Amino acid sequence: MNDLINFITLSDPNTRYVVLGVMLMSAGASVLGCFTFLRKKALIGDAIAHAVLPGVCVAFILSGEKNPILLLLGAFATGWFSVYAVDFIKKNSRLKEDSAIGLVLSVFFGIGILLLTYIQHSGNALQSGLDSFIFGKAASLVSADVYVFGTVAVLLIVVVFFLFKEFMLISFDENYAVSIGFPVKTLEFILTTLTVLAVIVGIQAIGVVLMAAMLITPAAAARFWTNRLPIMLMLAASIGIVSGIGGSFVSYTISGMPTGPWIVLFVSFIAMISFLFAPQKGLAYRWYGREKHKALIMEENILKAFYQLGEQDENFFKERTAEELSDKRGYPIAVINRWFSKLVKHGYLISKNNQYTLTEEGKVKGQRVTKLHRLWEMYLTEYVNLAPDHVHDDAENIEHIITPEIEKKLEEQLQYPNKDPHDSHIPYR
């Protein structure tokens, strides 16, 4: 409890620097990651993150000290060059973008490891801690880092705010942006520069290996919850901030726990929750929708079978058994009985002595499904020129998704036919 209170109040200066630093870094990277994600260039962040290592090493070799400004400038130079290299390879070879990214990523990171090994054997005492750029070391953040993170985060947000419309357009329809005279190349240059900035400011806290996750994962998680870009940006930034706080808290309360990997674990957990439970797009929601639709199909098929049996006997309210419905539809009797119970609860059937009869509401629904089935068969024979013996299966599927608007159009276009291609009566209310 004391640890929790101390963490929330940020009474310890080192904790304050770490929390504020990772919050600013996560928010900035998440906002830029939304545009990278929407432009289908998710892997470019991985290439940038791995390409900054040789820049850091070269800056250290040339300066002989761990000056944060010089290290960031070196990281920015090689990070931006990696993006240019990917585009150059893609345009001047037969390699696709993912292959070009993989090539650039491995080459730059390999050079970075080689230079880092050289530095470690150079005897320069100031090189201590330079390897933290690979996996990150948020605990080493100081007030100067927070100022740098804050400056870059404000810069990113201000530029995105003023160029939001332009960034949105090139993210969704670059060709249209070119056609109306937008300076697409300049906008792409600015967006790429901001993305590189977002990556390089986070490598000290998260590391080059994990920074790509912070660029894309919050954006991917936010995309599950909304179709509007402004809300997506705010959600992604919030997810990044919450993950940063969560990772910092675990690192603060449990000795020996690294901050960067825990931040990535938190954001990955949020992304997994979004993947499973987000409305409309979540896996659980879609599974529920499919099951609900299957239930609707079964319900309508049984009511249609009741109605068609009523047509044969000229009595729609005759009592029926599960065996009769099983013979009509081919469903197992156990399944029929289970659905009979559900249809009774819904008010479509009345049960008496293990026999069932339609209610008026059940008759109306069964009549409409029958009508839609026969109207669609008529449409396929009249307008698609299919043979009458080839339209039944298609109508069995389509009848359950025809809306009242489509139903009205079918009736008007077919001029309210009385018979279907099989000479069965089309029932109208």
Alpha-carbon torsion (336, 341, 343, 348), positive or negative: positive
Mean pLDDT of 133-153: 70
| Residue 125 predicted with pLDDT over 70 | no
Query: For domain 2-279, is the CATH number 1.10.3470.10?
Result: yes
Burial of 97 (0-12, 13-18, 19+ CB in 10 A): middle
Mean pLDDT of 412-417: 92
* Domain boundaries of the chain, sorted by first residue: 2-279, 282-429
| Residue 128 predicted with pLDDT over 70 | no
Residue 295 is predicted with a pLDDT of 92
DSSP three-state, residue 357: strand
Query: For domain 282-429, is the CATH number 3.40.50.720?
Result: no
Calpha distance 347→339 (Å, rounded): 12
373/70: higher pLDDT: 373
pLDDT (tens digit per residue) in 14-49: 777 778 878 888 888 888 889 988 888 877 877 888
| Residue 3 predicted with pLDDT over 70 | no
Calpha distance 101→83 (Å, rounded): 9
pLDDT (tens digit per residue) in 195-230: 888 887 777 667 666 777 888 899 999 999 999 999
**How many whole angstroms from its chain centre is CA 271?**
8
pLDDT (tens digit per residue) in 359-411: 999 999 999 999 999 999 999 999 999 998 899 999 999 999 999 999 999 99
Calpha distance 383→264 (Å, rounded): 56
HEC per residue, 109-141: HHHHHHHHHHHHCCCCHHHCCCCHHHHCCHHHC
Residue 234 is predicted with a pLDDT of 93
Residue 266 is predicted with a pLDDT of 92
CB atoms within 10 A of CB 160: 20
